[in-house]
């Protein structure tokens, strides 16, 4: 089973690697003895993230989530980086593929299926709904300092 590797860490950052997207299928997420998800890895803990959970997942050809799920307070962004498939939200089914991004509210029932002829690879970002405000959009500060490599 593949593991997350630490790249670098400092007082104000963490950098990790789950490996190449083509090797995501080597990860196994164990939620309980009877709930094991091949090809999925959560990154938040390894990154020491404090505002979101990030997962990477690869669905094999014909693979799918296998269940519907909701959240109590967390919204999710699904970012598809390879392959194609179908996404289901509250009974609505639509096509997704490389470059597709889907936002799902906490209470919506959701599931993913690979309908293509190659792995379907996605990044999922989970965060507390209603936690981003108009002021947050201007939070970034461009510094008047040179970049030194």
* Domain ranges within the chain, ordered by starting residue: 5-10+21-131
- Measured CA to CA in angstroms, residue 94 lies from 42, 100, 111, 115 at distances of 25, 11, 11, 11
pLDDT digits (tens, 9 = 90+) for 109-135: 999 999 999 999 999 999 999 999 888
pLDDT, residue 142, reads 92
Domain 5-10+21-131 indexed as CATH 2.60.120.10? yes
Rounded Cα distance between 76 and 124, Å, is 7
Q: Using 50, 70 and 90 to split pLDDT, how confident is the model at 1?
A: confident
Of 69, 67, 64, whose CA–CA distance to 108 is shortest?
Answer: 69
pLDDT, residue 125, reads 98
pLDDT digits (tens, 9 = 90+) for 14-71: 999 999 999 999 999 998 888 889 999 999 999 999 999 999 999 999 999 989 999 9
pLDDT digits (tens, 9 = 90+) for 64-100: 998 999 999 999 999 999 999 999 999 999 999 999 9
Mapped onto helix, strand or coil, the DSSP state of residue 32 is: strand
Which pair of structure tokens corresponds to residue 146?
Answer: 């040179």
Task: Give mean pLDDT, residues 130-141.
Answer: 90
């Amino acid at each position: 089973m593949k593991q997350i590797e630490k790249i670098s860490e400092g007082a104000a950052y963490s950098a990790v690697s789950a490996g190449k997207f083509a090797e995501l299928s080597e990860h196994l997420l164990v939620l309980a003895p009877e709930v094991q998800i091949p090809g999925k890895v959560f990154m938040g803990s390894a990154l020491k993230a404090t505002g979101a959970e990030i997962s990477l997942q690869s669905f094999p050809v014909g693979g799918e989530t296998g269940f519907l799920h909701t959240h109590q307070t967390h919204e999710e962004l699904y970012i598809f980086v390879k392959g194609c498939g179908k996404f289901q939200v509250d009974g609505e089914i639509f096509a997704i593929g490389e470059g597709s991004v889907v936002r799902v509210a906490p209470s919506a029932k959701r599931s993913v299926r690979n309908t293509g002829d190659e792995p379907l690879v996605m990044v999922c970002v989970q965060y507390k709904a209603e936690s981003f405000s108009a002021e947050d959009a201007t939070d970034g500060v461009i510094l008047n300092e040179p970049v030194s490599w």
